[in-house]
Amino acid sequence: MASGSIIGGFRRAAPRWFSGMSSLVAGVCAAALLAGAAAARAEDGSGGDREMGHFNMPGNVLISDQFNNRVIEVDWKGDIVWQFGLGPTDFSAASIIGVNDAQRVGPYTLMAGTGTPPATVPTCTASGGCPDSRVILVDRKGDIVWQYGTFASPGSGPDQLNTPTQATFLPSGDILITDQGNQRVIEVDAGKNIVWQYGTTGVSGSGANQLNSPNSAELLENGHILIADENNNRAIEVDRTGTILATFTAGGTVNTLAFASRLPNGHTLLTDAGNSRIVEVDASDTVVWQYFTNTETGSNAAPQPSRAIRLENGFTIISDQWNHRVIVINRKSHVVATFGNLNVSGYGTANTGQGLFAPYDAKVIGDFTGLTPPLGFDHDAGD
């Protein structure tokens, strides 16, 4: 990153860039989320210029197209209006390798470079896989304005990550990172200091202060952290002292929990990857609703859905990973929108009809229902 260059009135080189985040976030998010960012032109992350009058439009969908090594923003026709990453054959720092998570923060995009495990895709031929090991914040042009972790260098020391699966921008300006390979969730400030941690670094387990392949973490309105503890088949709600206050397993039926979020009605939405199921449970962990993603003719028998997010209108957007699609279902569990093609991977830069490759995460821009809102909780039902 260039020393002394300025982004949004803040110098990149300043060690406390983004410190006291409220002024920057209020400015960029209010402009982008409320006014709609009606810009006429931008440069995409793949290096080319194109007209993108609908960049950062509230209601567009941000997709982590995992093994195409990119994050894309699409409209509801599936047209790609923005892209960061060079595609499935590129494993350089210009792409985001094996991306598992992306979030729009005003005009910036926060993403987690999880990396590609060995023998997963034919384009990654290295015996140890193709790591990324970064959480990055990029601007509309694709320039990195903040980074935690070193590209292709997994580790557990200062400014190091090992298989980060999610990054959540907090209202304070800190970033909550699910550092799966290090068996921990960490909160990092703008100066790259770890200011909070749950999970013992490098130790997997189910005991006190232990996780087993954590896959996501969300800050709740009550100040607690909701963690998807993937290989312990549970979601746990912990306070800042590390005390577990609640555990959700859908009555002991969850198998490989990929994601968890708290709904406005107090229920918890679980992405039960191993059962190809999205399941909503109440405060007592009783199942009140569920949806399976492997029942359609032609479906992968075990698509392992990786993210399900309830939208403000009551619909649910699902990253149906090994069905190579993102779907939106209505309140009656009918599919009302599809991005990608059922059980067929692909790649293209014009429209999602050309294909996706194991999309891991999808979010509707401007809709933080059940998610941590970067601007802070305002007690509206949509948070």
Q: State the amino acid at position 32 in one-letter form.
A: A
Question: pLDDT 10s digit of each residue in the chain, 383 long?
Answer: 332 222 222 223 333 334 444 444 444 444 443 433 333 333 333 433 334 448 999 999 999 999 999 999 999 999 999 999 999 999 999 999 999 999 999 999 999 999 999 999 999 999 999 999 999 999 999 999 999 999 999 999 999 999 999 999 999 999 999 999 999 999 999 999 999 999 999 999 999 999 999 999 999 999 999 999 999 999 999 999 999 999 999 999 999 999 999 999 999 999 999 999 999 999 999 999 999 999 999 999 999 999 999 999 999 999 999 999 999 999 999 999 999 999 999 999 999 999 999 999 999 999 999 999 998 986 444 45
Q: How far apart are CA 335 and CA 328, in angstroms?
A: 6
Contact 168, 186 (CB under 8 A): no
3-class SS at 353? helix
Compute how many other C-beta atoms are within 10 angstroms of the C-beta atom of residue 315.
18
* 228 φ/ψ angles, rounded to the nearest 5 degrees: -85, 105
Q: How far apart are CA 120 and CA 118, in angstroms?
A: 5
Using H for helix, E for strand and C for coil, what is the string for 24-61? HHHHHHHHHHHCCCCCCEEECECCCEEECCCCCCCCCE
Burial 350-366 (b: 16+ CB within 10 A, else e): eebeebbbbbbbbbbbb
Question: In 3D, which of 188, 195, 184 has the Cα closest to residue 162?
Answer: 184
- Domain borders along the chain are 6-35+59-364
In the structure encoding, which two tokens stand for residue 199, read together? 């999970």
Question: In 3D, which of 322, 358, 320, 321 has the Cα closest to residue 337?
Answer: 320
Question: In 3D, which of 74, 78, 34 has the Cα closest to residue 54?
Answer: 74
Global pTM reads 0.88
Superfamily of domain 6-35+59-364: TolB, C-terminal domain (2.120.10.30)
Q: How far apart are CA 296 and CA 298, in angstroms?
A: 6
Alpha helices in 219-270 (DSSP H): none
